Structure 1
């Protein structure tokens, strides 16, 4: 499933990032890599997604969220 399909309050683990290299590198610099835990804090179906990665909150657009593949699972943050 993609991060955009995530439910508010649920925790996920990043499986793969399928975005253009420039965006992918930027997310990696912010700490989002394969295996990283992500918690969805707010998911507006018409717009941005607010998430928590490694203790920091980020907002991303729906196009980017659709390129991040995740699987549901517990993780420690």
Structure 2
């Protein structure tokens, strides 16, 4: 299941990031690591998502959201 599959308001934990190495490293520097709790705040028709991670809101495009695999909390 990816970040795009979570319902709005739903909580999950990151299980794996399947993106290019440079993108994955950047997300890790921002605090998105395995087992990090994430709450999905909003989804856009374009595929973008807005999430809350460790008290900070992030917006990710469709490609990144589909590359972040999660497990339900």
Aligned-pair CA distance for 1:64: 0.3
TM-score by length of 1: 0.91
Structure 1 unaligned spans of 5+ = none
RMSD of equivalent CA atoms:
0.8
**For residues 6-53 of structure 1, what are the alpha-carbon distances to aligned partners after superposition, in whole Å with 9 as ceiling and x for unaligned?**
110000000000000000000000000000000000011323100000
Alignment-derived partner of residue 20 in structure 1: 20
Secondary structure (helix, strand or coil) at the match of 1:65 reads helix
Match of 2:55 in 1: 55
Structure 2: tracts of 5 or more residues without a match = none
Moved over 2 A (4+): none
- Report how far residue 70 of structure 1 moved: 0.3
Aligned residues: 73
Question: SS of the residue aligned with 2:25?
Answer: helix
Instruction: Report the TM-score when normalising by structure 2.
Output: 0.96
